[in-house]
Amino acid sequence: MASILDLDLSKGKYVISKHIYGHFAEHLGRCIYNGLWVGEDSPIPNTRGIRNDIVEALKEINIPNLRWPGGCFADNYHWKDGIGPREDRPYMINTDWGHVVENNHFGTHEFMDLCEQLECEPYICGNVGSGTVKEMQEWVEYLTFDGESPMANLRKKNGREKPWSLNFFGIGNENWGCGGLMKVETYVEKYRQYQTYVSNYSGNEIKKIACGPSEADYHWTEVVMRECTGQTPQLENSTHDKPIKSAWEYYRPQLWGLGLHYYVRNRLNYTSATKFNEDLWFEYMQRAVYMEELITNHSKVMDKYDPDKNVALIVDEWGSWYEPEPGTHPRFLYQQNTLRDALIAGINLNIFNNHCDRVKMANIAQLINVLQALILTEGSEMILTPTYHVFEMYKVHQDSTLIPINIETRDYQFGGGSLPIVNASASRDQQGKVHLTLCNLDPHNSEEITCRLDGDKAISSVNARILTAETMNMCNTFEQPEQIKPITFDDIKIQDNLVSFVLPGKSVLAVELEF
């Protein structure tokens, strides 16, 4: 029996924000140093210290935003240590990631330069855990104020005359954990205080993002939403005929987004990124699909306080997490990237697309040499991982209109468990092309697919590319950098508004339809 996918082209309502395809670069291991940043004197081709080949590769996938400086590092980071002449910047100990010495050579100016080279939006995460309200306020002023002020003048002294545009600012990171071990009630009070001083200067408008829950901590979501988006209370005053509005009406905390963190991992038993059998393949497919439940349940909590969905759910840390590669620093979190990770990426991106009414941004962890990286480097060499290729295949969904899909599919069964074999999402871009991305979670068996499109125009042409490999744990290496990459997929039949094909096992497929 074939899997049936019904696409109703008339029901597209929500736009898949390009920011769902965002990224994350933390001062962790070799993500920044010996990753993005090689320094201006490096023999590796660079522009003001930033690797040219990495910038070129990231622009190819239309990187929309980049989160920095962490992660856990953010709540230990004091931004003034990372400005001015590099030789004068103080050193610090990176207490979160290996107690290595951080020289602060990559700071605010370097990050904003990177974003300008990438033509992407900066997403800065501020220090709540060990910072101060004044420190955060001054950072925003330094970045965005166009005029005469102590921070603006300091920025000019350091070589940047005009302010930058800053769209996204996070008020702390994982404050339930490495960001201060706070109870949600404590964090909410800090959020309300800190965000008050994250001001909009010189026409710049900042979208403020609160530290959200870890995984299934629905209580955290409940309290943040209740305390930051509640109904305006009224105060009775006997000397007035009408109730006087409370201060809440004028100073209600601004909350654009709530961050959710979830990693596909086994905290009790981290295993190899490359040495695994079908039991671990199936387990990690289950863990990837669990993102659907998390987003659904957190969205239900948010709907209680925000039925119009004005507050975005931001999945600003997600991805696979295994044990570090043998011989590498255990706190540098360097891991290989296999076909399994390509499926994990495709599953998550499909889920985010399908929940784009609430999910407005996401940031995979991390960009280079850390966790589920898109790029791995060794000296001057660079390879693109299977995860990178999924982002390249899925970029067609950015800012396209979601097309709802109804999927009837069989289950992939293993060890007493089962999962739907097909995971998919679809959209229509601004040129009218329909894009369908599918994952086959079964590592052994192909699946017959029939797509029925409910529309008034017949399909005129189809193009498709597939990402798969001979084995489930195949990866790209520096010796064989192109073992896994997308190739053309031609075996597709179209008739009027029907599309049929056989989806190979353990594969990611991207289909483009023109009318």
Other CB atoms within 10 Å distance of the CB of residue 303: 13
493: left (phi over 0), alpha (psi -120 to 50) or beta: beta
* Contact status, residue 390 vs residue 436, Cβ threshold 8 Å: no
* Contact status, residue 384 vs residue 57, Cβ threshold 8 Å: yes
Q: What is the DSSP letter of 62?
A: T
| 317 catalytic per annotation | yes
Residue 341: what are its φ and ψ, rounded to 5°? Answer: -70, -30
β-strands 22-24, 65-68 pairing: parallel
Rg over alpha carbons for the chain, rounded to the nearest Å, is 24
Q: Which of 110, 138, 227, 317 is catalytic?
A: 317
Closest CA to 222 of 248, 184, 273: 184
Q: Which of 174, 227, 392, 447 is catalytic?
A: 174
* Contact status, residue 331 vs residue 29, Cβ threshold 8 Å: yes
- How many residues would you count in the chain? 515
β-strands 168-171, 207-210 pairing: parallel
Q: How far apart are CA 96 and CA 339, in angstroms?
A: 30
Q: How far apart are CA 485 and CA 315, in angstroms?
A: 26
Q: How far apart are CA 458 and CA 99, in angstroms?
A: 61
* Contact status, residue 397 vs residue 16, Cβ threshold 8 Å: yes
Distances (CA, A) of 300 to 71, 88, 250, 295, 315: 26, 50, 27, 9, 16
Q: How far apart are CA 417 and CA 482, in angstroms?
A: 34
Element (DSSP H or E) covering residue 303? helix 278-305
Residue 78, burial from CB neighbour count under 10 angstroms (0-12, 13-18, 19+): middle
Q: How far apart are CA 162 and CA 311, in angstroms?
A: 31
Q: CB neighbours of 193 closer than 8 A, spacing ≥ 6?
A: 133
| 174 catalytic per annotation | yes
Closest CA to 342 of 401, 393, 395: 393
Q: How far apart are CA 155 and CA 83, in angstroms?
A: 9
Q: CB neighbours of 137 closer than 8 A, spacing ≥ 6?
A: 197, 198, 199
Distances (CA, A) of 233 to 47, 222, 361: 54, 19, 31
Residues labelled as active-site residues: 174, 317
